Structure 1
Amino acid sequence: MPKLPLRIAVLECDIPMQPLASRFGTYPRIFSTLLNSAADALRYPGLSSREGLEISGWDVVNGGKYPVLENIDAILITGSKFTAYDDDPWIVKLVDFTKKVLEQRRVRIIGVCFGHQIVGRAMGVKLGRMEAWEASVTAVDLTKRGQEIFGKTALAVHQMHRDVVFEYPEGVENLASTERCKVHSMYIAKRLITVQGHPEFNQDIMMEILKARHANGLFNKEMYEDGTSRADKYHDGVLIAQAFLNFLLED
């Protein structure tokens, strides 16, 4: 049985905009809420919202400090408004740190959206931009391996991205895709799991982001109305987080 608590370092690649930060907190709190819900649903001995999880936050954009690998069991790289293939010093440093984690075998990696893309970049594959956005609750197709990992035949996941990983790195298992984005989830047993979507988002978070991006002209009326029409749909955020925990518990 894996040693508990699971010590997860959340690498904060952005700060949620107001009023989301005041209501839901920064990303360590948002992911703690998600992972606590998943732990309760998983019913694994010694793991619940009350015990078995030790989550810390690391502001890699402004603080620049990273956890000592000996003191953690996993890193979780969050989403971000920034571009994973840019060469801002903090992004380059994050890619280098991710490479360092990939070079060893004990500390595992979870990547979400921007974090998914950072893992792809660290593994040497091309990133880029789609013509159209994926936004709000979106149907995601699963491969046979993806169905085994997530325990369903397909997923519904909140999305907010136009940047993508264009190809699967060597040695990575393909778990999921959509019509617009073929690289939606990457997996290597006991080493990494990533998703392009946002399991940590809920309807309220998505609505605030859609409103803000419509107000600043990034989303036109059609895109905004399409996104808001799906923001309240069922999504598999907690189920995906259960897969994250199962991945960390894999002995």
Structure 2
Amino acid sequence: MKPPFRIAILECDEPIGRTKAKYGGYGNVFKALLDAGADHLAQQDGVSRPALELKYYNVVNAQLYPKLEDIDAVLLTGSRHNAFDPDPWILALVDFTKKVLAQHRVRVIGVCFGHQIVGRAMDVKVDRSDRGWEVSVTPVRLTGKGSELFGVEELAIHQMHHDIVTTHPSSVAPLGHTDRCDVQGMYIRAHLITVQGHPEFTGEIVEELLENRHKRGIFSDPVFEDGMSRVRKPHDGVVVGAAFLRFLMEG
């Protein structure tokens, strides 16, 4: 039997309300995604279900990090914070990500804010988009490499961001784009994979975020109504979760 993939999930934020009550933290949201992805992989690829060993690290308040010798991969979660800010915990996260990227055994997975932190660690500009918020289930037009990795021609994925990686680092393969975001994913074989969208999100989670941010005045009525009109549409989160695991299995 193969040993489990030891994945350190760096929790860059905490869920709110009903989502927090159900999952506790974003680590458990990703556990649900990766477990579903492992099942999908076994069914679709006919391989043995990969074993996973997940450990969670609060990098915001506790600023806890794993030792690289104890893990096989790090996964950076999303966050309501801005990846380009100079907060001490964000700078520490960027430094840690640079350390991981500088070696080639431990692999990197980045999601939304995590995708942006990887971009920043690779010295490309991360900034506020001038095209506005991108929210709810959104079609992503994939590159050839994106279609190869995800096994679909177009990827439907939840979005929840106003910040973007402005350009692709020269060393990565682009994975896709949308009208509001040119850099929807980055990939280097056996080294890193990132997505701007949220494969771990469900309609229930995004509905709560839309309602909360609309109530607080962050989302205008049109943004809220548009997001709510698409929030329960089918999406390919599990497909992305399976792609993350295929990435970990790359030789």
After TM superposition, which residue ranges in structure 1, 4 or more long, deviate above 2 angstroms?
A: 44-48
Q: How many residues align?
A: 247
User: Which letter maps to 1:28?
Assistant: G
Structure 2 unaligned spans of 5+: none
Q: TM-score by structure 2 length? A: 0.96
- What do the CA deviations read for 1:122-174 (whole angstroms, capped 9, x no partner)? 00001111131000000100001111111110100000001000000121001
Structure 1 unaligned spans of 5+: none
In the alignment, what sits opposite 1:92? Answer: 91
Q: Is the 8 A contact 1:113 1:198 kept in 2?
A: yes
Q: In 2, Cα distance between the equivalents of 1:202 and 1:151?
A: 21
Q: In 2, Cα distance between the equivalents of 1:63 and 1:111?
A: 20
Q: In 1, Cα distance between the equivalents of 2:6 and 2:219?
A: 38
The Cα shift of 1:223 comes to 1.0
Matching of residues 6-45 of structure 1 within 5 Å: 6-43=5-42, 45=47
Aligned CA RMSD, in angstroms, stands at 1.2
Q: Is the 8 A contact 1:109 1:191 kept in 2?
A: yes
Matching of residues 1-251 of structure 1 within 5 Å: 3-43=2-42, 45-47=47-49, 52-131=51-130, 132-251=132-251
Name the SS of the counterpart of 2:17 in structure 1.
coil
The Cα shift of 1:221 comes to 1.2
Name the SS of the counterpart of 2:93 in structure 1.
helix
Q: In 2, Cα distance between the equivalents of 1:90 and 1:150?
A: 32
The Cα shift of 1:19 comes to 2.2
Q: Is the 8 A contact 2:120 2:126 kept in 1?
A: yes
Name the SS of the counterpart of 2:60 in structure 1.
coil
Q: Is the 8 A contact 1:113 1:161 kept in 2?
A: yes
Q: In 2, Cα distance between the equivalents of 1:33 and 1:160?
A: 19
Q: Is the 8 A contact 2:41 2:47 kept in 1?
A: no
Q: In 1, Cα distance between the equivalents of 2:7 and 2:209?
A: 26
Name the SS of the counterpart of 1:19 in structure 2.
helix
Q: TM-score by structure 1 length? A: 0.96
Q: Is the 8 A contact 1:4 1:46 kept in 2?
A: no
Q: In 2, Cα distance between the equivalents of 1:142 and 1:199?
A: 15
Identical positions, percent: 54
Q: In 2, Cα distance between the equivalents of 1:160 and 1:228?
A: 12
